[in-house]
């Protein structure tokens, strides 16, 4: 996106930039706040600079990635874009067909990628195009055909497997991490980012989400803090992180009884 500047003229927000030939462009905006002006200015510049056939997927992808800046979706777009953009980036949104999607699926399968991965990649393309349509950057979002969702994996650890897994954890902080993952179903990243302000031992609640901004699926708020309390009791409550050096295991027996009730 070209460099631009937002200012005010006669009490209204305006956006200004210079064309490649040196000509100055200025447009009045309908926004009533600086943030609204920033959003409107970007959309306006993208519409004006779009080629006659419409914005390319690469332009839409870049704009959507900027819109998602600061969210996990931005990192996901950066990764999936390495595979999606070489095949779709040069096309206008209206030029994408079902055959294009099917050819992409066949190509990725031939590269050894699973349908779940391919579905995720095309899902990012679909999300970007739907966002562009809502932002009035394109007239219509094309249908993006994707592989069907694979059946959910419902493999569960048995009690003996859980006991063997915990017994293999020599370091106390590794054991605590395992207990938290087992009792909250949280992923390793969510557990490592967990801070004390999101752990309520009295109410036995753990909030895995770092904030309220993110995808609808998000991270769970679980009621498993009480089960992990036997090991959490000796952890130093330094702001923002767990003091692993002060981790104590003197209440493991209580935990084992809760895990394996008589």
Question: CA-to-CA distance for 178 and 173, rounded, in angstroms?
Answer: 9
Range 53-78 average pLDDT: 89
Single out the residue in 151, 167, 185 at which a domain terminates: 151
The pLDDT of residue 101 is above 50: yes
pLDDT band for 52, please (50, 70, 90 cuts). Answer: low
The pLDDT of residue 158 is above 70: yes
Lowest mean pLDDT among 55-69, 165-179, 244-258: 244-258
Rg of the chain over Cα atoms, rounded to whole angstroms, equals 25
pLDDT in the model for residue 133: 93
pLDDT band for 223, please (50, 70, 90 cuts). Answer: low
- Number of domains, the chain: 3
The reply to whether 63 and 145 lie within a common domain is yes
The reply to whether 247 and 212 lie within a common domain is yes
The reply to whether 135 and 60 lie within a common domain is yes
Domain of residue 116: give its range: 50-151
* pLDDT 10s digits, 113-152: 999 999 999 999 999 999 999 988 888 999 999 999 888 7
Single out the residue in 49, 67, 89 at which a domain terminates: 49
The pLDDT of residue 245 is above 50: no
Q: What is the mean pLDDT of the chain?
A: 80
The reply to whether 6 and 67 lie within a common domain is no
- The answer to whether 219 touches 184, Cβ cutoff 8 Å, is no
- Which residues does residue 222 pair with via DSSP β-bridges, in sequence order? 206
CATH of the domain at 123: 1.10.150.130
Range 238-248 average pLDDT: 40
pLDDT band for 257, please (50, 70, 90 cuts). Answer: very low
Range 69-86 average pLDDT: 93
The pLDDT of residue 250 is above 80: no
- The answer to whether 68 touches 77, Cβ cutoff 8 Å, is yes
């Amino acid at each position: 996106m070209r460099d631009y500047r937002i200012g005010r003229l006669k009490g209204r927000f305006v956006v200004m930039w210079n064309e490649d030939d040196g000509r100055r462009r200025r447009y009045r905006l309908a926004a009533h706040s600086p943030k609204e002006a920033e959003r409107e200015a970007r959309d306006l510049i993208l519409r004006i600079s779009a080629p006659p056939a419409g914005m390319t997927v690469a332009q839409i992808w870049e704009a959507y990635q900027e819109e998602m800046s600061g969210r996990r979706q931005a990192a996901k777009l950066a990764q999936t874009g390495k595979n999606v953009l070489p095949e779709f980036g040069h096309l206008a949104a209206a030029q994408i067909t079902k055959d294009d999607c099917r050819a992409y699926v066949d190509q990725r399968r031939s590269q050894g990628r699973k349908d779940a991965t391919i579905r995720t990649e095309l899902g990012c393309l679909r999300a970007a195009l739907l966002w562009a349509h809502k932002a009035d950057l394109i007239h219509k979002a094309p249908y993006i055909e994707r592989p069907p969702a694979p059946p959910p994996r419902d493999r569960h650890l048995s009690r003996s497997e859980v006991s063997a897994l915990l017994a293999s954890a020599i370091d106390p902080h590794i054991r605590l991490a395992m207990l938290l993952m087992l009792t909250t179903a949280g992923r390793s990243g969510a557990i490592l980012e967990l801070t004390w302000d999101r752990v309520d031992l009295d109410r036995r609640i753990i909030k895995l989400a770092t904030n309220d901004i993110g995808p609808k699926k998000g991270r769970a708020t679980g009621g498993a803090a009480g089960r992990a309390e036997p090991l959490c009791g000796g952890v130093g409550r330094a702001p923002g992180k767990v003091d692993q050096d002060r981790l104590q295991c003197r209440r493991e027996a209580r935990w084992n009884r809760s895990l394996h009730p008589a």
